[in-house]
Structures are given as C-alpha cells and as structure tokens.
Amino acid sequence: MKKVIATPYIDQTRRYPTGCESVSAVMLLQYLGIPLGVDDFIERYLKKEPMIIREGRLYGPDPFRCFAGSPYDSDSFGCYPPVIVDAMNRVFADVQPERRAVDVTGMPMGELLERFIDRDLPVVFWASLDLKETVPGPEWYLRDGTKFSWISNEHCMLLVGYDEEAYYFQDPWMNHGCVGYPKGIVEKRHGEQREMAVVAMRRQEEAVAEGVGSRLCSLD
C-alpha cells in the first residue's frame, strides 16, 4: 500500500540555501490553509542570531533556541525543533489559534506514520542532505562559553507518505520535489539527527504527543 499526502512544494536552493527548516515548516503551514511565504516566516516569526568570530573563535547561538546564522546565507547552519515549534506557534496564534505545533522528537517511525501520516498530517522531519552520512562538527562557543558541536549535512524535509520500501518527502533541496527514499537509510540518518520531528495538530489532539519531545529538551 502506498500513502502520499499531496502538499505544496517550495524549492529552497537559490534563495534559502540553509533554510530547509523554514521551508519545510511553510510547506506544512500552506497545506493547512495558511497563505504564508517563506520570507514572512523567516522575518516575522523565526528567531535567529548571527555567527561571529571574536579573538579567533567562532561564536553563535544554541540551535535549540534560535537559528544559527541566516537562512539566506549558505555559510550558516540551521535550527532544531524547539525553534520551529516556537515560530509555527506564533503563526498559529495569529491565524489559526485552534492549532499547535508540537515537538515529537523520539517518536518511532511507525507511530509517526500511524498517528500523523495516516491521518493526513505531514511531519517536519530532520535527516541529512541527500541522505549523506552525517559528520561531527564544526564547533562554536555559546554565550556562556560552552562549546557546541553541530552535526553537519543536517537537512529538514516534510514527511508526506510511505510504501513498503520507502518514505516519501517533499524535499526542498535542489528542486527534488516529492521523492521516495529507502526506509533503512532514512531511519539511520534520522537517528543520527536525534530523531527530531515536529507536527501540527488541533489543541485537543495534543495528548497524542505528550512527553515525546522530552528527550530533546534534555539535550538543550
């Protein structure tokens, strides 16, 4: 059986080279009937801080708290679920207050499919660029002086379906469009990126994801 949710598609490559998280979130928002553009999402809702070099050291924000750099900058990095949850919830507060974005990091793939994809709810999903092997680093210093290590080749897509062999994504990189990737390698790369994921649901449905994101919060 093949299940694929029809959603809008946005290519990130030329205008938002490191904006995969924002583009994936906007594809989901547009699917939910919110006519928001990527630029509005980035400028009005996404928390972000620049990377700076001071005394030979690279300093930047915690990607669990805000975007590291700028989605318009190919030399920037990205952000993790709490940042996208915060931005999406500020959108919902403006236009669809009955909805909430929820961090479902750590939820097994089978549950993501059953609880969301089977109910026509796409999932913002972290894996790696073209499913390449992830690479530790680079590192930078946070405001409190602690060192943070990025996981390179990080990439965010919109999970929209599955069949027996593959998971299907609206992949915003290089105009890939709706593409199927083999299940095994998707699960491996998703695991390497802490099994990070975000969903949007109506407020009365939030109990289905209660406590799932706690593992991510413990890494913050």
Q: What angle do CA 179, 183, 186 make, to 5 degrees?
A: 75
Question: What is the structure's pLDDT at 170?
Answer: 98
In this prediction, the residues of the chain whose per-residue pLDDT falls under 70 are 206-220
Question: What is the structure's pLDDT at 208?
Answer: 54
66, 42 contact by CB (below 8 A): no
- State the DSSP H helix or E strand holding residue 86, giving kind and residue range, or none if neither: helix 81-95
Q: What is the pTM of this model?
A: 0.93
Question: What is the structure's pLDDT at 203?
Answer: 80
Q: Which two tokens stand for residue 154?
A: 């990080």
For 36, half-sphere exposure in the C-beta direction (CA atoms, 13 angstrom radius) is 30
Question: What is the structure's pLDDT at 212?
Answer: 55
Cα separation, 93 vs 91, in Å, equals 5
Closest to 110 in 3D by CA, of 190, 204, 205, 213: 190
Question: What is the structure's pLDDT at 60?
Answer: 97
Q: pLDDT digits over 178-219, tens only?
A: 999 999 999 999 999 999 999 999 987 765 555 455 444 333
Question: What is the structure's pLDDT at 205?
Answer: 72
